[in-house]
C-alpha cells in the first residue's frame, strides 16, 4: 500500500465558471474556441478575453472587463475563453505566453490585440476606437477640432456622391483599424471628410487622397505614386511621419526599455496628470499641449498653425470666430499668468571693479490655483512688495553671473504664500541706464493684461475674463531671451516632453520626490539621465501652463536657477530615544554640521547585506560613546539624496565629522574591518577631544564635563557589571544545581560501581570454581579414558579369546561330526556342549555393548565440560 | 519595542504604489497565513511524526530521515507569523521527541540545511518567542545542543582525502562502506552558514573548519576559466558532471559564499564569489538568462532555465547588483506567467518545458528573490508576483489535506507530496513579502540587549542571514558568543582613553587616514599589530570587497518593469 500511495496522482480540477452567470460576459470556461468563433458571426464587434483561471492578472482584469461589458454590452459582444484547460479547444489551438490576452474583432478584421493598461477606462476607450475607427468630419468646426488636437491625425477625403463606397475608402477604413494593431495607445486618429468644401480647406481635391496633419512641420499628403495604396502602407507612412511633440508614456509592466530609450535621448520633462481617456475634454492636457506646441514652434515668424491660418482666410463667419478663439487661446499662453505688481530693484555691485549695475524688475504674480473665483482686482500691496524683495535678495545669487545685455527672467516661489511667485527680470546696465528704462516702458505698457487661471477642481471653467489694469508694468517676455515660443530650437538643452497618467504611474513621481501628502496627483520633473540630475516643479505651485512654461524657461537659460532635486525620505520619524540618529536629506545639514558634537555618519542601504549585518556593531558603539560629545548617525542613501560632495559610491561607508572641524570629514579606511575596536580607534584618532594647549578656565570646565562623562560612563559600566554579576550568579546557581545533580549522579554511579565490582568478584570466584571443576572433570575424564583404554584392551583380549574359542569350538565340532556317525550313543553329551557354546557368545555380546556405552558417556561429559568453561 | 515597530510601519507605506494597481497587501498577507495553517494543521493531524505530509492520501511518510522534518522546518515560520504559543509547544515536543541515534541513511546536505539550520534558527529566536532560556543563551541551550548533535552525526562524511564530504551518511554508523564518492557541488559547499554559526555559538571550531576546508577544495578544483561543474568525486577530485551553471547541483554553493561573507565579514569567501561571478557573467549569461555551459570550454550545453536558479536575483540584490537582478527576475517572471509556476527545466529557445522536468514542487526561489528585491526597490511588480503565487498555489495545488506538488505544469496534475520547504520557505517568503513590518525586516532601529554571564550583547538588530532553507541566523549572536569576548578588553582600554586627558599614542590608528587610500602598501604590518589577531593578513588589502555599490541615478525610475542599460 505504501508504494501505491507514492504513485498516487490527481488530475487538475475541472474548470468552473470564471465570470458569474449573471455577468454580461459570456464565459466559455471549458475553452470552447469553436463556439467562440461561431459567436463572432452574430456581432459586429467582439471582444475575446482569453484567461487562465489561476492567473492573478486575469483575476485582476476580470472586474475591469465586467465593468466595460456592462457599459457596452448592447454594441459589443464580450466572450471570455478559458485558454488553459488542457481538454479545451482553445488550449489545443492557441499558445499564449501570458494571460489574459484580449482580442478584438471588427467584423472580419482582427484580431486586434489590446496591450494597454488593464483598467476599465482604457479598455473601453480602445473598444470604442475599434467600434468607430474613423471620425466623421462633416463641418469646418469639426475639422478644426480634429486638427487642433495634439495627437497626430490622418484625414481621408472621399466623395460619396458617386458611389456608396468610393474607391479606396475601404482600404482607408482598414488602415485605421490596422493602426490600432500597431499603435495600441491609439495616438494616431483617423478622420474622413465627405464634403468637398471642407476638404478644400486642407487642400484636398481628389477623392481618395489621404492627408497627415502636422503642427510644426508641413503636413503631408499620402504619395500614391510612390507607395502602393494599401492599408498597411498608409498606416506605416502615418506612423513614420507623425509628429511627436509630446508623448504619452505607458509602460506595460513587463520588462521594457521604454524609459531607458526615451530618457537617453536627452533631458526629459515628465508631466504627471490624472487622465481619464473617456472624458470629453481635458483642459489641463490642452494647456500642456499648447505649451508643447509653442515650445516646438521654431519658425516664429510664421504662425504656429499655418493650416489654421489658412483656414482663417476663408470668409465663413462662424469659422472665423472659432479660429479667432483658437488664436486667443494660444495668445493667452504667451503671457505668464500674472498678477502684475512690479518694482525695480537695483542690485548692489558684485565686484568693486565692475562698473555695471544690475537692474531687476521684480513682479508679484499670483496664480490662484485653488480659488479661481476669488480673483481680486490687483493692486500693489506694500507688504507684498517687501516680502517679495526679501525673497528676492535671498535668491539673488541666481543673478550673480548675469553680465549679458539680454534680459534674464526667473520665477521663484514666495515663501509666504503657496499660490504666488515672483518674476524677476534682470539685465546688466552699463552706461545707458536710462535707455533701458525707456525701452522697458514702451514694452511694459501693454494695454491689455491677459489673466487666466485654471481651476484644478472645476475643470470646466478654465478661463477667467480678462482684467484690465494699466497701473502696473508687465514684463513682456517676448523680448527676453527666454521666450517659450520655439525655445526647443534655440536652446542647447532641448527637452523631450512626456505625459504620464498619474492614476497608473504615480510611483515614478514618488520616486522623483513627489510629496506623499498631496492628494492632487499632478507633478512635473525634468530628468537628465546623462547628468544624473533631476529638477522638480515646485509642488506648492499648481501645475498649469504658465508654471510649466516658467519651469521650462528656467531650465533652458544659461545660468539655470533650478536646483538639483534631492529626494528625501519624508516618512522617517525622529525619535529621541533612538541610539542611532536617523538622518535624511532635510536633516543632514542640521545633524551633521550644526550640531555641537563629533558626528560619526554611516551611509547604508537596507538591502545591502554588508550593511545590515553591522547594525549591532553601530548600536554597541552608540551605546558606548559619551552621548554629550558624540552622535552616531546613519543615512539610508537609497532613499535620501545628498549634495554631490557627500555622495558615496560604496556602502557601507563611515564618515567622521570632528567637532569644530566639520568640513574636514574623514573616511573610515576601507581596508579595515568594521568592528568595535577599530571604530573606536578611528574616532579617537580624529576626534577633537585631545587638548595639548595650556589649560584655561574654559579648558578646566571642559575637563570637568569630561570627567563627569567619564563618571557616568563608569556608572553605566558598573550597572552593566552588576547585571553581569547577576547573570553570573544565576549561572552560578544553575551550575551549582547542575553540579549537585552531577554529584548525586556520581554518587549513584559510585554505588553502582561498587555493586558491579562485587558482582565482578563473585563472578570471578564463580569462574575460578568453574575452572577448578573443569580441571577436576578433566582429570576425571582422563582417568575415565584410561579406564576405557583398559576396557578396550580387555575387550580385545576377550575378542581374541572368543576367536580362539570359536576355533576351538569349530575344531571340536569337526571332531564331533566325525565321531557322530560312530558314536550315536553319545548324542546327549553333544547337546550339553552346544549349550555351553551359546553361553560363551552371549558374554562377548554384552561386553561389546558395554564398551560403546562407555564412549558415549565420555563424549557427553566432554561437551558439558566445554559449556561450563 | 512596540512603539518602534509602529513607527517603522509608518516608514514604509508599502501599499502606496501597489494600491494604484489595486493590490491589497494586507488581505494577501492573511491569505498566506491561512495557507500556512491549512497545511500545518493537516500535517500535525495526519502526518506527524513522519517527515512529510502526503496531501492526496492524507497520511505521512519519512523522506529525508526520520525526524519530523516538516515540524522542524516550519518552526521559525510559526514565529514569523507571530504564533508564539505554538512555537513554544513545538520546541518542547522536539526536545522530547527527536532522536538522531537512528540507523538511517541521511543526506548530509539536506540534514544540514533543514535540521541543523532549522534548530539553530529556532534556538536563536527562542527568546523572542518567549521560551524560557538558559543563562548562557545564546551561547548554549537545548536546541543548540540538538543542532550540535545532529551536526556531529554529519562530521564522518567529511573524512575524505580532499575534505569534501560524501553525500550520504548513516546517522548511527557513519559513512557506509561502498558509499558512492560522487557528491554534487552544492552538497560540498553548503555548510559554512550553519557550521560557522555552530562553531561560534558552541566554541568548538571543528564545524567551521570542515566547512571551510570543503569550500577551499572546491575553489582549488575550479576550471581554468573559473567555473565549477555539477558533481565531483570526493576521493579523486575529478569532475564527474561538467555542466556549469547557477542552478541545480551548484546553486547554494554560490549562495553560501555570499552569505558566509556577510555573516562572518569574510573577505576571502567574497573574493571567491566575485571571481565566480565574473566567470558566470562571461560564459553563462545571455540576455539576462543564465544557461548551462561546459565547465572547461565554456560552450553552451543546455539552454535551459531551472526553477532552482531563481534564487540568483535575490543573491545579487544582497551584494548591490540590483539592476541586473531585476532584469533577470523579470525574465523568470514571464515563465511563471506562462504556467502558473516554474517548471524544473524551461527550454529558453523553445519557450516550453523540458520532457520529464515539468513539475513544480511549490519551490520558493522566485518568491525569495521577490522578497529581497522588494526590500531594495519597493517595486509593485514584485508584489504582483506574490499575488500571482498566492492565486496559483491556491487554485492549482490546494487539496483537502494540504498543498500538493504540481507533477506537471502543462496540465496541473498533482503529486502526492508536500515538501517540507513549502512551509519553511515558500510560505515564509510570501508572508514576508506581504509584511514589510515583520521583525525579520528590522533595519536596526530596534534591538534587544541580553545580559549573558560573559557580558552584555546586542541582539536581534536585523540583518538576519537566511540559510538556503530560509532559516534566519542573527549575525549579532555569532559576534556575541565569540568576537565580543575577544574584543572586550581592548574596547575597555579604548573607552578609558576616551575619558583620559592625555592621549596615549599607542591606541591610535596609525595609518594616516586623512590621505585616504594609496598607502595600503605598508598596511599589513601596521594593521596586524593594531588589530591583534586578524586571521588572514592577505585578506586585509581588499576590505572594500565587503560592500555594495550605491544605486545609480536611473534606479529611481527602474520600477514597473522598466530597465536601464549601462552607459558603458
Report pLDDT digits (tens) over B86-102.
999 999 999 988 889 99
Rounded CA-CA distance A447/A476 in Å is 12
Contacts for B498 with CB less than 8 Å, ≥ 6 apart: A625, A626, A680, A684, A689, A710, A713
d(CA B255, CA B308): 12
All structural domains of chain A with their residue ranges: 26-126, 132-243, 246-298+486-565, 340-367+405-430, 581-688
> What residues in B contact A639, CB-CB < 8 Å?
none
d(C-alpha B476, C-alpha B71), whole Å: 26
Name which of A215-219, A584-588, B122-126, B310-314 the model is least confident about. A215-219
pLDDT for the residue A341: 58
Of B4, B380, B557, the CB nearest to A259: B557
Q: Where are the alpha helices (DSSP H) in A132-266?
A: 140-148, 169-182, 196-201, 231-241, 258-263
**What integer pLDDT is reported at residue B87 of this predicted model?**
97
HSE at residue B44, side-chain half, CA atoms within 13 A, is: 14
Q: At which residue does the C-alpha cell 556575541 appear? A: B480
Highest-confidence segment of A2-6, A143-147, A312-316, B356-360: B356-360
Give the residue among A487, A488, A518, A490 at the shortest CA–CA distance from A502: A518
Chain A interface includes B504 (CB < 8 A): no
How far is residue A80 CA from its own chain's centroid? 31
Q: Judge whether A219 and B527 are in contact, CB under 8 Å.
A: no
Residue B474's nearest CA partner among B266, B200, B271, B214 is B200
Taking Cα atoms as reference points, which of B466, B546, B375 lies closest to residue A611?
B546
Where does A581-688 sit in CATH, by number?
Answer: 3.40.30.10
Instruction: Confirm whether A132-243 and A581-688 share one CATH topology.
Output: yes
Measured in angstroms, the CA of B90 and the nearest CA of chain A are apart by 25
Q: Is A573's CB within 8 Å of B563's CB?
A: no
Which helix H or strand E contains A9, and what residues bound it? Answer: strand A9-10
pLDDT tens track for A815-835 = 888 877 776 655 655 555 555
> Over 80: is that where the pLDDT of A470 sits?
no
- Provide the pLDDT confidence category of residue A506 given band limits of 50, 70 and 90: very high
Q: What is the pLDDT of residue A710?
A: 79
User: Which residues lie below 8 Å from residue A725, measured CB to CB, with a gap of 6+?
Assistant: none
Contacts of A559 (CB under 8 A, 6+ apart): A398, A399, A400, A401, A402, A408
DSSP-assigned beta bridge partners for residue A583:
A635
Residue in the structure block whose three cell numbers are 468630419: A137
The verdict on domain A246-298+486-565 having CATH code 3.40.50.300 is no
Answer yes or no: is pLDDT of B505 > 80. no
How crowded is the C-beta side of A842, counted as CA atoms within 13 Å?
5
Residue B468, marked binder: yes
Of A593-597, A651-655, A764-768, B87-91, least confident by mean pLDDT is: A593-597
Chain B residues in contact with A12 by the CB 8 A cut-off are 396, 411-414
Contact between residue B430 and residue B366 where contact means Cβ atoms under 8 Å apart:
no
Kindly report, residue by residue over B127-147, the tens digit of the pLDDT.
999 999 988 899 999 999 999
Q: Taking the model in full, what pTM does it have?
A: 0.79
Instruction: Looking at the complex, report in whole angstroms how far the Cα of residue A671 sits from the nearest Cα belonging to chain B.
Output: 4
Check residue A294 and give its pLDDT: 87
- The partner residue sitting opposite B458, judged by closest CB among A582, A609, A620, is A620
Phi, psi torsion values for A429, nearest 5 degrees: -115, 125
* pLDDT value at residue A318: 38
Q: Write out chain B residues lying below 8 Å of A254, CB-based.
A: 330, 334, 561
d(CA A633, CA A647): 16
* Residue count (chain A): 869
Chain A: closest CA distance from residue B233 (Å): 31
**What would the pLDDT profile of A551-579 be if each residue is shown by its tens digit?**
998 898 888 888 899 988 877 766 666 78
For residue A229, the distance in angstroms to the closest alpha carbon of chain B comes to 38
Residue A701 to residue A628: CA distance in whole angstroms: 14
Active site residue B456: no
**Closest residue in chain A to residue B322, using alpha carbons only:** A607
Q: How far is B405 from chain A (nearest CA, A)?
A: 10
Three-state DSSP state, A80 = strand
| Chain B positions in Cβ-Cβ contact with residue A651 (cut-off 8 Å) | 320, 547-550
Q: B residues 40-69 near A, CB within 8 Å?
A: 54, 56-57, 59, 61
**Residue carrying the nine cell digits 515583520:** B438
In this prediction, residue A389 carries a pLDDT of: 64
Distances A518 to A369, A535, B295 between C-alpha atoms, Å: 14, 18, 56
Chain A residues whose CB is inside 8 A of the B564 CB are 257, 259-260
Grid coordinates in use for B349? 529557445
Residues of A within 8 A of B258 (CB-CB) are 609
Sequence-distant (≥ 6) Cβ neighbours of residue B51 within 8 angstroms: B60, B61, B62, B63, B64, B65, B66, B67, B68, B69, B70, B420
Between residues B407 and B495, the one the model is more confident about? B407
CA distance A730 to A724: 10
What fold, for A132-243?
Glutaredoxin (3.40.30)
State mean pLDDT over B154-173. 96
- Picking from B10, B396, B557, the nearest residue to A54 by CB comes out as B396
Q: Give A256's DSSP letter.
A: B
Tens of pLDDT, residues B166-181: 999 999 999 999 999 9
CA-to-CA separations, A360 to A382, A472, A849, in angstroms, rounded: 18, 15, 152
β-strands A523-528, A268-273 pairing:
antiparallel
How many angstroms away from the CA of B65 is the closest CA of chain A?
17
CA nearest to A116, candidates A177, A61, A79: A61
CB pairs under 8 A between A and B: 356
Indicate the angle between helix axes B267-283 and B251-264, nearest 10 degrees.
150
Task: Check B251, B358, B435, B469 and give the catalytic one.
Answer: B251
Place of cell 552622535: A631
Q: What is the average pLDDT across A47-52?
A: 96
Position with higher pLDDT, B365 vs A626: B365
Residue A103: helix, strand or coil by DSSP?
Answer: strand
Q: Which of B52, B76, B110, B255 is catalytic?
A: B110
Per-residue pLDDT band at B154 (split at 50, 70, 90): very high
CATH top class, domain A26-126: alpha beta
How far apart are alpha carbons A557 and A750 in whole angstroms? 98
Question: What value does the CA radius of gyration of chain A take, rounded to a whole number of Å?
Answer: 54
Look at A394 and A539; give whichever has higher pLDDT: A539
- Give the one of B11, B395, B462 whose C-beta lies nearest to A571's C-beta: B11
- pLDDT of A44 > 70? The answer is yes
Element (H, E) at B239: strand B239-241
CB-nearest to B20 from A251, A503, A532 is A503
Is the pLDDT reported for residue B8 higher than 60?
no
The DSSP line for B33-102 is HHHHHHHHHHIIIIITTSSEEETTTTEEE--SSSS-HHHHHHHHHHHHTT-HHHHHHHHHHHHHH----S
- pLDDT above 70 covers a percentage of chain A that reads 70
ipTM, 2 decimals? 0.90
Neighbours of A677 (CB within 10 A): 21
The secondary structure of B377-393 as a DSSP string is H--HHHHHHHHHHHHHI
Number of neighbouring beta carbons within 10 Å of residue A793: 10
B10–A607 C-beta distance less than 8 A: no
Q: Verify whether residue B110 is a known catalytic residue.
A: yes
Query: Residue A439 pLDDT more than 50?
Result: no
Instruction: Please tell me which residue in B52, B243, B344, B425 is annotated as part of the active site.
Output: B344
> pLDDT-based confidence at A382, cuts 50/70/90?
low
Alpha-carbon distance A419 to nearest alpha carbon in chain B (angstroms): 27
Eight-state DSSP code of residue A640 = -
Among residues 380-439 of chain B, which lie with CB inside 8 Å of chain A? Answer: 380-381, 384, 387-388, 390-392, 395-396, 399, 404, 407, 410-416
Q: What count of other Cβ atoms lies within 10 Å of the Cβ of residue A596?
A: 9
- pLDDT reading at A691 higher than 90: no
Establish whether B344 is a catalytic residue. yes
User: C-alpha grid cell for residue B382?
Assistant: 514584485
Residue B401 predicted with pLDDT over 50: yes
Query: What would the grid cell of residue A638 be?
Result: 537609497
Q: Residue A97 pLDDT > 60, yes or no?
A: yes
Taking CB atoms and an 8 Å cutoff, what residues of chain A touch B560? Answer: 251, 253, 505, 507-508
> Which of A4-13, A681-690, B413-422 tops mean pLDDT?
B413-422
Q: Tell me: the pLDDT tens digits for A141-187?
A: 999 888 888 888 999 999 888 778 888 899 999 999 999 988 777 77
Q: How far apart are CA B450 and CA B459, in angstroms?
A: 7
Q: Do A507 and B20 touch (CB under 8 A)?
A: yes
Per the CB < 8 Å rule, is A12 touching B475? no
Contacts of B139 in chain A (CB under 8 A): none
Q: CA-based angle B163:B169:B175, to the nearest 5?
A: 70
CB-CB contact of B47 with B71 (8 Å): no
* Separation between Cα atoms, residue A133 and residue A139, nearest integer Å: 18
* pLDDT value for A271: 95
- Gap between the Cα atoms of A374 and A368, Å rounded: 8
Q: Which of B20, B462, B563 sits opposite A257 (nearest CB)?
A: B563
A558 SS3 class: coil
Nearest to A5 among B54, B331, B459 (CB): B54
Amino acid at each position: 500500500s505504501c508504494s501505491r500511495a507514492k504513485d498516487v496522482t490527481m488530475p487538475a480540477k475541472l474548470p468552473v465558471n470564471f465570470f458569474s452567470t449573471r455577468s454580461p460576459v459570456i464565459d466559455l470556461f471549458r475553452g470552447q474556441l469553436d463556439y467562440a468563433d461561431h459567436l463572432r458571426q452574430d456581432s459586429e464587434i467582439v471582444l475575446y478575453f482569453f484567461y487562465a483561471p489561476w492567473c492573478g492578472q486575469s483575476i485582476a482584469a476580470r472586474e475591469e472587463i465586467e465593468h466595460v461589458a456592462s457599459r457596452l454590452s448592447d454594441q459589443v459582444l464580450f466572450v471570455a475563453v478559458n485558454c488553459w484547460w488542457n481538454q479545451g479547444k482553445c488550449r489545443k489551438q492557441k499558445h499564449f505566453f501570458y494571460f489574459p490576452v484580449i482580442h478584438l474583432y471588427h467584423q472580419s478584421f482582427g484580431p486586434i490585440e489590446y496591450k494597454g493598461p488593464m483598467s476599465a477606462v482604457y479598455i473601453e476607450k480602445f473598444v470604442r476606437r475599434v467600434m468607430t475607427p474613423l471620425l466623421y468630419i462633416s463641418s469646418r468646426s469639426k475639422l478644426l477640432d480634429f486638427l487642433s488636437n495634439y495627437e497626430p491625425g490622418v484625414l481621408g477625403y472621399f466623395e460619396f456622391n458617386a458611389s456608396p463606397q468610393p474607391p479606396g475608402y475601404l482600404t482607408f477604413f482598414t488602415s485605421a483599424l490596422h493602426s490600432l494593431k500597431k499603435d495600441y495607445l491609439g495616438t494616431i486618429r483617423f478622420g474622413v471628410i465627405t464634403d468637398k468644401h471642407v476638404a478644400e480647406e486642407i487642400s484636398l481635391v481628389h477623392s481618395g487622397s489621404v492627408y497627415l496633419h502636422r503642427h510644426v512641420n508641413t503636413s503631408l499628403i499620402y504619395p500614391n505614386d510612390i507607395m502602393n495604396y494599401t492599408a498597411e502602407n498608409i498606416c506605416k507612412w502615418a506612423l513614420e511621419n507623425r509628429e511627436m511633440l509630446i508623448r504619452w508614456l505607458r509602460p506595460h509592466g513587463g520588462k521594457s526599455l521604454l524609459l531607458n530609450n526615451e530618457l537617453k535621448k536627452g533631458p526629459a520633462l515628465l508631466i504627471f496628470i490624472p487622465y481619464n481617456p473617456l472624458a470629453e475634454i481635458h483642459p489641463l492636457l490642452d494647456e500642456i499641449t499648447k505649451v508643447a506646441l509653442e515650445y516646438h514652434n521654431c519658425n516664429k515668424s510664421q504662425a504656429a498653425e499655418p493650416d489654421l491660418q489658412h483656414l482663417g482666410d476663408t470668409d465663413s463667419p462662424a469659422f472665423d470666430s472659432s479660429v479667432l478663439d483658437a488664436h486667443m487661446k494660444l495668445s493667452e499662453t504667451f503671457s505668464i499668468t500674472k498678477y502684475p505688481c512690479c518694482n525695480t530693484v537695483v542690485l548692489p555691485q558684485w565686484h568693486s571693479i565692475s562698473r555695471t549695475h544690475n537692474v531687476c524688475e521684480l513682479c508679484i504674480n499670483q496664480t490662484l490655483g485653488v480659488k479661481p473665483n476669488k480673483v481680486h482686482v490687483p493692486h500693489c500691496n506694500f507688504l507684498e512688495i517687501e516680502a517679495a524683495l526679501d525673497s528676492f535678495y535671498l535668491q539673488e545669487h541666481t543673478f550673480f553671473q548675469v553680465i549679458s545685455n539680454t534680459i534674464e527672467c526667473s520665477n521663484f516661489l514666495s515663501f509666504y504664500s503657496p499660490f504666488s511667485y515672483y518674476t524677476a527680470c534682470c539685465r546688466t546696465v552699463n552706461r545707458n541706464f536710462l535707455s533701458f528704462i525707456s525701452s522697458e516702458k514702451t514694452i511694459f505698457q501693454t494695454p491689455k493684461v491677459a489673466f487666466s487661471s485654471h481651476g484644478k477642481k472645476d475643470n470646466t471653467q478654465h478661463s477667467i475674463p480678462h482684467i484690465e489694469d494699466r497701473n502696473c508694468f508687465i514684463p513682456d517676455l517676448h523680448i527676453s531671451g527666454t521666450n517659450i515660443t520655439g525655445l526647443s530650437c534655440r536652446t542647447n538643452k532641448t527637452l523631450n516632453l512626456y505625459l504620464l497618467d498619474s492614476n497608473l504611474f504615480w510611483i515614478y513621481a514618488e520616486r522623483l520626490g513627489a510629496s506623499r501628502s498631496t492628494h492632487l496627483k499632478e507633478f512635473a520633473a525634468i530628468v537628465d539621465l546623462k547628468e544624473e540630475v533631476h529638477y522638480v516643479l515646485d509642488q506648492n505651485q499648481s501645475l498649469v501652463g504658465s508654471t510649466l512654461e516658467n519651469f521650462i524657461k528656467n531650465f533652458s537659460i544659461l545660468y539655470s536657477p533650478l536646483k538639483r532635486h534631492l529626494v528625501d525620505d519624508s516618512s522617517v520619524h525622529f525619535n529621541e530615544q533612538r541610539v542611532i540618529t536617523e538622518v535624511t536629506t532635510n536633516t543632514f545639514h542640521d545633524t551633521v554640521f550644526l550640531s555641537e558634537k563629533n558626528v560619526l555618519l554611516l551611509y547604508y542601504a537596507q538591502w545591502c547585506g554588508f550593511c545590515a549585518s553591522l547594525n549591532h556593531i553601530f548600536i554597541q558603539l552608540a551605546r558606548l560613546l559619551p552621548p554629550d560629545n558624540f552622535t552616531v548617525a546613519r543615512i539610508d542613501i537609497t532613499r535620501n539624496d545628498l549634495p554631490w560632495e557627500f555622495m558615496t559610491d560604496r556602502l557601507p561607508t563611515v564618515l567622521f565629522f570632528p567637532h569644530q572641524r566639520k568640513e574636514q570629514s574623514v573616511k573610515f579606511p576601507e581596508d579595515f574591518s568594521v568592528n568595535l575596536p577599530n571604530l573606536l580607534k578611528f574616532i579617537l584618532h580624529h576626534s577633537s577631544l585631545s587638548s595639548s594647549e595650556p589649560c584655561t578656565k574654559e579648558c578646566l570646565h571642559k575637563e570637568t564635563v569630561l570627567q563627569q562623562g567619564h563618571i557616568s560612563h563608569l556608572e553605566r559600566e558598573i550597572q552593566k557589571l552588576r547585571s553581569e554579576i547577576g547573570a553570573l550568579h544565576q549561572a552560578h546557581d544553575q551550575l551549582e544545581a547542575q553540579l549537585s545533580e552531577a554529584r548525586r549522579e556520581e554518587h549513584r554511579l559510585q554505588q553502582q560501581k561498587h555493586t558491579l565490582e562485587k558482582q565482578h568478584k563473585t563472578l570471578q570466584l564463580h569462574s575460578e570454581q568453574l575452572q577448578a571443576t573443569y580441571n577436576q572433570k578433566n582429570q576425571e575424564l582422563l582417568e575415565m579414558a584410561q579406564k576405557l583404554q583398559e576396557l578396550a584392551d580387555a575387550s580385545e583380549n576377550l575378542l581374541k579369546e572368543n576367536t580362539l574359542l570359536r576355533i576351538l569350538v569349530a575344531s571340536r565340532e569337526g571332531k564331533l561330526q566325525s565321531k557322530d556317525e560312530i558314536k550315536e550313543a553319545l548324542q546327549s553329551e553333544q547337546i550339553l556342549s552346544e549349550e555351553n557354546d551359546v553361553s560363551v557368545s552371549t558374554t562377548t555380546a554384552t561386553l561389546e555393548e558395554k564398551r560403546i556405552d562407555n564412549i558415549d558417556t565420555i563424549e557427553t561429559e566432554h561437551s558439558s565440560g566445554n559449556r561450563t568453561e | 519595542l512596540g512603539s518602534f515597530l509602529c513607527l517603522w510601519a509608518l516608514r514604509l507605506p508599502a501599499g502606496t504604489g501597489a494600491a494604484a494597481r489595486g493590490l491589497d497587501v494586507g488581505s494577501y498577507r492573511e491569505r498566506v497565513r491561512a495557507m500556512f495553517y491549512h497545511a500545518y494543521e493537516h500535517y500535525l493531524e495526519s502526518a506527524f511524526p513522519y517527515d512529510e505530509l502526503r496531501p492526496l492520501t492524507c497520511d505521512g511518510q519519512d523522506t529525508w530521515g526520520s525526524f519530523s522534518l516538516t515540524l522542524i522546518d516550519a518552526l521559525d515560520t510559526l514565529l514569523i507569523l507571530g504564533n508564539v504559543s505554538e512555537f513554544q509547544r513545538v520546541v518542547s515536543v522536539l526536545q522530547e521527541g527527536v532522536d538522531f541515534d537512528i540507523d538511517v541513511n541521511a543526506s548530509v546536505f539536506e540534514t544540514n540545511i533543514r535540521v541543523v539550520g532549522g534548530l539553530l534558527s529556532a534556538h536563536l529566536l527562542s527568546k523572542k518567542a518567549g521560551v524560557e532560556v538558559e543563562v548562557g543563551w545564546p551561547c548554549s541551550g537545548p536546541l543548540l545542543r540538538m543542532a550540535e548533535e545532529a551536526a556531529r552525526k554529519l562530521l564522518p562524511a567529511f573524512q575524505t582525502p580532499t575534505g569534501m564530504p560524501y553525500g550520504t551518511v548513516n546517522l548511527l554508523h557513519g559513512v557506509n562502506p561502498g558509499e558512492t564518492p560522487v557528491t554534487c557541488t552544492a552538497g560540498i559547499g553548503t555548510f559554512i552558514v550553519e557550521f560557522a554559526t555552530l562553531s561560534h555559538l558552541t566554541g568548538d571550531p571543528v564545524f567551521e573548519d570542515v566547512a571551510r576546508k570543503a569550500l577551499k577544495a572546491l575553489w582549488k578544483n575550479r576550471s581554468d576559466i573559473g567555473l565549477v561543474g555539477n558533481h565531483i568525486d570526493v576521493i579523486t577530485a575529478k569532475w564527474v558532471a561538467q555542466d556549469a551553471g547557477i542552478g541545480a547541483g551548484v546553486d547554494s554553493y554560490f549562495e553560501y559564499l555570499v552569505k558566509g561573507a556577510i555573516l562572518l565579514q569574510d573577505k576571502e569567501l567574497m573574493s571567491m564569489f566575485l571571481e565566480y561571478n565574473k566567470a558566470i557573467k562571461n560564459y553563462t549569461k545571455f540576455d539576462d538568462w543564465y544557461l548551462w555551459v561546459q565547465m572547461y570550454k565554456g560552450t553552451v550545453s543546455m539552454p535551459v532555465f531551472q526553477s532552482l536558479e531563481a534564487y540568483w536575483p535575490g543573491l545579487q540584490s544582497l551584494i548591490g547588483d540590483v539592476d541586473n537582478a531585476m532584469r533577470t527576475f523579470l525574465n523568470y517572471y514571464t515563465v511563471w506567467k506562462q504556467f502558473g509556476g516554474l517548471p524544473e527545466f524551461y527550454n529558453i529557445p523553445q519557450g516550453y518545458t523540458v520532457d520529464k522536468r515539468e513539475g513544480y514542487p511549490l519551490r520558493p526561489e522566485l518568491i525569495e528573490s521577490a522578497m529581497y528585491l522588494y526590500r531594495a526597490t519597493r517595486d509593485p511588480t514584485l508584489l504582483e508576483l506574490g499575488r500571482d503565487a498566492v492565486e496559483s498555489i491556491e487554485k492549482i495545488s490546494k487539496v483537502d489535506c494540504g498543498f500538493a506538488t504540481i507533477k506537471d505544469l502543462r496540465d496541473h496534475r498533482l503529486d502526492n507530496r508536500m515538501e517540507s520547504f513549502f512551509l519553511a520557505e515558500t510560505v515564509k517568503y510570501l508572508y514576508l513579502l506581504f509584511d514589510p513590518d515583520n521583525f525579520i525586516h528590522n533595519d536596526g532601529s530596534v534591538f534587544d540587549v541580553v545580559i549573558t554571564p560573559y557580558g552584555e550583547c546586542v541582539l536581534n538588530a536585523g540583518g538576519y542571514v537566511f540559510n538556503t532553507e530560509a532559516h534566519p541566523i542573527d549575525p549579532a549572536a555569532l559576534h556575541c558568543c565569540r568576537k565580543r569576548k575577544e574584543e572586550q578588553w581592548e574596547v575597555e582600554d579604548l573607552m578609558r582613553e576616551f575619558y583620559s586627558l592625555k592621549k596615549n599614542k599607542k591606541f591610535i590608528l596609525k595609518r594616516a587616514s586623512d590621505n585616504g587610500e594609496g598607502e595600503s602598501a605598508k598596511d599589513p604590518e601596521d594593521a596586524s599589530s593594531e588589530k591583534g589577531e586578524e586571521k588572514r593578513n592577505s585578506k586585509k588589502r581588499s576590505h572594500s570587497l565587503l560592500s555594495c555599490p550605491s544605486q545609480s541615478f536611473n534606479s529611481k525610475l527602474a520600477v514597473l518593469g522598466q530597465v536601464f542599460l549601462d552607459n558603458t
